[in-house]
Amino acid sequence: MPDKAMGDPGFGVVLATGEAPVFQPGDRVRILVRAPIGHYRVPTYLRGKQGSIEAVIEPPAVDNEEEGFGRNAGSKRHYYRVAIPMTEVWADYVGSPRDGLRIEIFETWLERM
């Protein structure tokens, strides 16, 4: 990933809102609990679950949920590959405690813990 967040000290480049990722690999996050009507991309079974950022997905992309209604402009943010233990999702999970789920979540659905 290019070191965009730092800018270039020689030129004093200022990044627009949303250009730099808000989260970094290793950050602990919670997936928000929202119940939007219409088009959404965060499955219900993961809302409210806790995990950690595994990777920032480049490049920033249009919010699929906005795009579903034809609103494509100005909504670019990062998606993140989020790691969630299976035991966090399913209390009665059968398998290794190291088993996990990975999903890409748009920035506006995540909060820092």
In the complex, which residues of this chain contact other proteins (CB under 8 A)? 41-43, 45-46, 57, 61, 64, 79, 81, 86, 89-90, 93-96, 98-104, 106
Phi, psi of 78 (to 5 degrees): -90, 145
Pick between residue 32 and residue 93 the one whose CB is nearest to other proteins: 93
Among candidates 22, 2, 6, which has minimal Cα distance to 14?
Answer: 6
> To the nearest whole angstrom, how small is the minimum distance from the Cβ of residue 61 to other proteins?
5
> To the nearest whole angstrom, how small is the minimum distance from the Cβ of residue 6 to other proteins?
21
Element (H, E) at 66: helix 64-67
> To the nearest whole angstrom, how small is the minimum distance from the Cβ of residue 7 to other proteins?
24
Pick between residue 13 and residue 102 the one whose CB is nearest to other proteins: 102
For residue 87, what is the DSSP state? H
Find all residues with CB under 8 Å of 10, minimum gap 6, and list them: none
